[in-house]
Amino acid sequence: MTRDERLFAYVDGELDAADRAAFEAEMAADPQLAAEVALHQSLADRVSAAYAPVLDEPVPPRLVAMAATANDEASRGARLGLPAWAAMAACLVAGVLAGRLAWPQSGLLVSRGGDLVARGDLATALGAQLTAEPGVVRVGLTFRAADGRYCRTFHSARERLAGLACRQGDHWIAEVAMPFRPGPTPDYRTAASDTPPAVLATVDRLIAGAPLDAAQERAARDSGWR
C-alpha cells in the first residue's frame, strides 16, 4: 500500500487492529500526517452530510409505484414457486396493475393510471379512523386543501409507509408516499408527531387554513368526506 492508500484506509476504517495501531503511532510522530488525516476525515464527513438530506425527500410516486409493483410480482412469483424474489421484497406496499386485481394483496397502495390509490387497511383507516386512534395505520392530521379536498397524513410502522392522501370521489389518492422508519430516529421524532418532514412539507404546500379539530374531523368523516 502506498502512503496515501494507507491514510485513506485508516480514515475509512479499513485497517485491521495491528495496522491501525501502527498507523496511529506514525501519526503521533508526524504532525503533517496527522493533519492530513484530520483534513480527509472532515472531508469525508462533509461529503456524507451533503447528501444525507436526500434520504428524507419525498420519493416521486412513479418510483414508489414501480418498486411496489416489484414487490407485488415478487409475492406472486413466490406463490407460483418461481425464484425466491419474495425474500427480496420489502413488502411495504404492493402495487396492483389493471388486470391483476384478482390476486390477493396485502399492500396499502395500488397504482392506477399514474395515481397511487389507497387500499386495504390504508383505505379503511383514512375513511373511518379519527386522528390518533390506534390501528395498523395511524392518521396524523386532517385538513382541507385549497381545492376543497379533505387530506390526511398517515403512517404505518408495520407496513413501513408514511404519506399524505386526499379524498377524490370515492378514493384516497396519495400525494406523497415514502418509506417510514419507525424507532427513535431523531429526524422522524419531530415535536409534532411521527410524520416525516417531507410529508409535513406537503401539508404546508396543500393546506388552506388550520388542520381540523376533533369535532370537525368527526363531522367530516360522518358526512363521508364530502
Binding site for another protein (CB under 8 A): 1-2, 4-5, 8-9, 12, 14, 39-40, 43-44, 46-48, 50-51, 54-57, 59-60, 62-64, 66-71, 73-74, 77, 82-85, 87-90, 92-93, 160-161, 178-179
Residue 25 beta carbon to another protein: minimum distance, rounded to whole angstroms: 22
Strand runs (DSSP E) across the chain, as ranges?
Answer: 109-112, 115-118, 138-144, 150-156, 161-168, 171-179
Determine contact, residues 197/186, Cβ cutoff 8 Å. no
CB of 175 to another protein, least distance (A): 17
Residue 1 or 208 having the CB closest to another protein: 1
Helix (H, G, I), strand (E, B) or coil at 177: strand
Asked if residue 174 lies in contact with residue 118, where contact means CB atoms within 8 angstroms, the answer is yes
Question: Quick one: 48 exposed, middle or buried, by C-beta within 10 A (0-12, 13-18, 19+)?
Answer: exposed
Min separation Cβ 173 and another protein, Å: 18
CB of 157 to another protein, least distance (A): 13
Number of H helices, E strands in the chain: 7, 6
